[in-house]
Amino acid sequence: MRLKSNNPFLRSKSFAEKNTTLYDNDGRPVQIIDYNNTMTVNGAVTKTFILFALLLAGAATTWYSAYTGQNPLVLTIGGAVIGFIMVIAATFSPKNLPYLAPAYALFEGLFIGGISAMFEVMYPGIVMQAVFGTLVTFGVCLALYRFRVVKVTEQFKGIVIASIFAIGTYYIISMLFSFFGVSFFHHGNSLMSIGFSVVVIVVAALSLFLDFDMIEQGAQRRLPKHMEWFGAMGLIITLVWLYVEFLKLLSKLQSRD
């Protein structure tokens, strides 16, 4: 979804207490902008922490369920499905993001907790390794973006977005073929499969730069306040993707030992 402000062009004084419609000398309406109701970087960061906390709460719920002997499959699948629905709904109804984004984080947490518990049973210690890899990658990417070592140009965006679509298309095709008993190479632990996982992690890491840029550009364009939730939600989606790919890569490496 491309960031685009629906706010009209405003030519009045800054930091008004509320949006007020006035009229210029030609009788045309001119709206005073309320800077308290526009997107800011700090606001997006705060909302990212809120969503992250909800994600952890959901994950803890499924994790606890699994380790108390209950079957986490229903919560895991249900969380994934409802989380996906929340993403679609947020895309078509951004004004409802203050409700949809927290719901997404909570239900996606159920999914993350479930698959984390499953991987941990098969490969003890893998969850902490994946969490560490995700956080380190996030920190490095944030530093590279903050100090402008990596610049998000239009060409950069085009390459990353094309790569994301290519990976998504491949995953969808492989899933459809799996219904007919056909298994693609990325399911194994071959060197080619491991190499594929590394490439996907790199693309997921590069997409973090797009999230950082989206938040910064949204604040500069003074998009509506609810778009802070959009930026935060996009960042959480990328972090979840990155974490899952780390789980896959680490599981492939450990299965070769």
pLDDT surpassing 60 at residue 57: yes
Non-local CB neighbours of 99 within 8 Å, separated by 6+ positions: none
Structural domain range at position 8: 1-37
Q: Which residue has the higher pLDDT, 36 or 204?
A: 204
What is the secondary structure of 29-43 as a DSSP string? EEEPP-GGGB--HHH
Per-residue pLDDT band for 69 (boundaries 50, 70, 90) equals confident
Q: Which two tokens stand for residue 129?
A: 């390794």
**What Å distances lie between residue 193 and 129, 199, 249, CA to CA?**
19, 10, 9
pLDDT surpassing 80 at residue 36: no
Same domain, 119 and 151: yes
Same domain, 189 and 242: yes
Domain count, the chain: 2
CB 26 within 8 A of CB 12: no
With H, G, I as helix, E, B as strand and everything else as coil, classify residue 179.
coil
Q: Which residue has the higher pLDDT, 147 or 24?
A: 147
pLDDT surpassing 80 at residue 161: yes
β strands within 59-146, DSSP E? none
Distance separating alpha carbons of residues 7 and 4, to the nearest angstrom: 9
Distance separating alpha carbons of residues 90 and 233, to the nearest angstrom: 9
Same domain, 16 and 53: no
Percent of the chain with pLDDT over 70: 85
Same domain, 6 and 45: no
Same domain, 50 and 28: no
Same domain, 155 and 28: no
pLDDT surpassing 90 at residue 166: yes
Same domain, 5 and 69: no
Per-residue pLDDT band for 174 (boundaries 50, 70, 90) equals confident
Same domain, 2 and 47: no
Q: What is the mean pLDDT of residues 38-43?
A: 92
